[in-house]
Chain A
Amino acid sequence: MSHFSPTAAVSYFFNYFLMKGVLVTIGLTVAAVVGGLILGMGIALLRMSSNPVLAGAARFYIWFFRGTPLLIQLVVIYSGLPQLGIKFSVITCALVGLILNEAAYLAEIVRSGFMAVSVGQREAAWALSLSPWVTFRRVTLPQAFRLMIPPLGNSINSLLKATSLASVISVEELMRRSDMLMQEHFQILEVYAAATAYYLILTSVWDAVQRRLEKHFGRSSAAKTRRVAASPPVAQASVEARA
């Protein structure tokens, strides 16, 4: 077989077995994002806490999970932990690994988002005697979230592709199923062309979602972003003068 067969590639693309792998990839990504965001938010809050023990623990967590390869984390959870008598199903192993890893990155994104909201916003909320919950929910979170979307989008894009590492611990997601097809038919380029197309489609769909999110959360601040970012109120006034 010395040539590339487009028909074979197309047929792999519509292969039911491969499509189910795509669904597993999507499932892993969504679950890891949701789990990672919840855990990451908690870690970010600890990291910002004034309690040095909590902040230190959060810092250690982030340092550890960002400082080691996801591949090692997955293998340790899947093959290493059973040695200590801790056993999970394959899918659980993959999810635990992906969530723990993703949370470390998202925690830093969440933290940077909150830190970028000016102190003045919190002071205004205090002065209005808003409760801590209302201040968080209505004042700081929406502003922080808007700032988090671009790095969040980046991280989720990485995560989507990183789920392919779960193939190593035999999770039958897109990558693993491509391998299986390839070993069966030896049409290496054709199979991986189909897989590549799926990854590109998934990341493109996510790009589109991210753009819509940015637009949605930026709508109120299209004019303002420039000014608040440029901060000196003198600049604000001059914008007005020109208008």
Chain B
Amino acid sequence: MSERSMARAEGATVQPQLREVPAVRMEAVYKHYGDFTALNEVDLKVAKGEKIVVCGPSGSGKSTLIRCINHIEKHDEGLIYVNGTELDRQRKNIDTVRRDTGMVFQSFNLFPHMTVLENCILAPMTVNGMSEAEAKDLAMHFLTKVRIPDQAEKFPGQLSGGQQQRVAIARALCMRPKIMLFDEPTSALDPEMVKEVLETMKKLAEEGMTMLCVTHEMGFAREVADRIVFMNEGRVVEQAAPEEFFENPKSERARAFLDQIIH
């Protein structure tokens, strides 16, 4: 509320599309692991509904960046706002942010001792206080959406990697997040399974979900992203629309990176 009115008050000076509270706002964020600087003065603003692909060489801080957004990693300095809620280490705010965000991990991280359906209903029931019947309906809705309703009673270990990752997406969606974070969702998959996961993500993008994806899938980036964020050594080196980034990268580092991955 105050966020919103503040933004409105600044309305005259800021660009029109930023008048709305951004989905994510990072200002001068730092993250250190011992002597290693994983995030080095990162500024990033993501508008609602925007699709961002974060790319860069390994160790450049991409994963750390999106893991700071739902406070799975704790940033050391700087400000992070998610949907107007500041991640300031207050439990209440962290919980709000985590309820607003869904995350999909490289290694799926499904709960192996629960069925697909149980994986999907746990959070809606225990966090949102849904009844089992309601939660199951909701879970089946999203499992249908990721096209695996018939696997609901199976355990994750009985599914292929691609299927597991689609379950992970459905599980996150069951909390009705406003922002989806993808941390290399296809990097652990066999090539023939990458497509089904990317298709699911595309569908989600078409529906207007705000998305931040760390991925090496440049085809996906070209097709889906509104903006590419290129990182190197903990810094955001370049941000541009996909056409511009791929055709005409400004930084030397981005050119070298693209040469390597696009052959």
A146 at the interface (CB under 8 A from B): yes
Q: Is the CB of A233 within 8 A of B107?
A: yes
Chain B residues lying within 8 Å of A121, measured Cβ to Cβ, are 109, 111
Chain B residues lying within 8 Å of A237, measured Cβ to Cβ, are 160-162, 189-190, 193
Given known A233-B108, A237-B189, contact A128–B171 (CB-CB < 8 A)? yes
B126 at the interface (CB under 8 A from A): yes
Q: Is the CB of A129 within 8 A of B123?
A: yes
Given known A146-B113, A233-B188, A237-B193, contact A130–B107 (CB-CB < 8 A)? no
B59 at the interface (CB under 8 A from A): no
Chain A residues lying within 8 Å of B70, measured Cβ to Cβ, are 126-127
How many residue-residue contacts, CB under 8 A, span A and B? Answer: 104
Q: Is the CB of A224 within 8 A of B156?
A: yes
B155 at the interface (CB under 8 A from A): yes
Q: Is the CB of A143 within 8 A of B113?
A: yes
Q: Which one of B103, B113, B162 contacts A127 once the chains associate, using CB atoms below 8 Å?
A: B103
Chain B residues lying within 8 Å of A127, measured Cβ to Cβ, are 70, 72, 98, 101-103, 105, 172
Q: Is the CB of A224 within 8 A of B155?
A: yes
Q: Is the CB of B111 within 8 A of A139?
A: yes
- A84 → chain B closest CB, angstroms: 46
- B126 → chain A closest CB, angstroms: 5
Q: Is the CB of A236 within 8 A of B126?
A: no
Chain B residues lying within 8 Å of A240, measured Cβ to Cβ, are 159-161, 190
Q: Is the CB of A228 within 8 A of B112?
A: yes
Residue picked from B95, B109, B112, B175, most chain A C-beta under 10 Å? B112
User: Which residue of A has the minimal Cβ distance to B107?
Assistant: A120
Residue picked from A124, A127, A236, most chain B C-beta under 10 Å? A127
B251 at the interface (CB under 8 A from A): no
Residue picked from B95, B111, B123, B189, most chain A C-beta under 10 Å? B111
Chain A residues lying within 8 Å of B107, measured Cβ to Cβ, are 120, 233
B228 at the interface (CB under 8 A from A): no
User: Which residue of B has the minimal Cβ distance to A134?
Assistant: B126
User: Which residue of B has the minimal Cβ distance to A138?
Assistant: B122
Chain B residues lying within 8 Å of A128, measured Cβ to Cβ, are 98, 122-123, 127, 171-172, 175
Q: Is the CB of B158 within 8 A of A223?
A: yes
Q: Which one of A129, A142, A232, A238 contacts B113 once the chains associate, using CB atoms below 8 Å?
A: A142
Q: Is the CB of A120 within 8 A of B105?
A: yes
- B208 → chain A closest CB, angstroms: 21
- B110 → chain A closest CB, angstroms: 7
- B118 → chain A closest CB, angstroms: 9
The residues in B between 120 and 144 inclusive whose CB is less than 8 angstroms from any CB of A are 122-123, 126-127
Q: Which one of A130, A134, A139, A233 contacts B189 once the chains associate, using CB atoms below 8 Å?
A: A233
Q: Is the CB of A124 within 8 A of B122?
A: no
A208 at the interface (CB under 8 A from B): no
The residues in B between 183 and 215 inclusive whose CB is less than 8 angstroms from any CB of A are 188-190, 193
B114 at the interface (CB under 8 A from A): yes
- Given the complex of chains A and B, what is the CA–CA distance between A123 and B126 in angstroms? 17
User: Which residue of A has the minimal Cβ distance to B101?
Assistant: A127
Chain A residues lying within 8 Å of B115, measured Cβ to Cβ, are 220
Given known A139-B111, A228-B157, contact A234–B99 (CB-CB < 8 A)? no
Q: Is the CB of B188 within 8 A of A129?
A: no
- Annotate A110-130 by CB proximity to B: 1 below 8 A, 0 otherwise: 000000001011011011111
- Given the complex of chains A and B, what is the CA–CA distance between A131 and B123 in angstroms? 9
- Given the complex of chains A and B, what is the CA–CA distance between A131 and B91 in angstroms? 11
The residues in A between 127 and 151 inclusive whose CB is less than 8 angstroms from any CB of B are 127-131, 134, 138-139, 142-143, 146
Q: Which one of A126, A134, A220 contacts B112 once the chains associate, using CB atoms below 8 Å?
A: A220
> A127-B101, A134-B122 given. 11 additional CB < 8 A pairs?
A120-B109, A127-B72, A128-B127, A129-B98, A142-B113, A220-B114, A221-B155, A233-B107, A237-B193, A240-B161, A241-B190
A–B pairs, 21, beta carbons within 8 Å: A120-B105, A120-B107, A126-B98, A127-B172, A128-B171, A129-B95, A129-B127, A130-B127, A131-B127, A143-B112, A220-B155, A221-B112, A223-B158, A224-B112, A225-B157, A233-B107, A233-B161, A236-B161, A237-B190, A240-B159, A240-B160
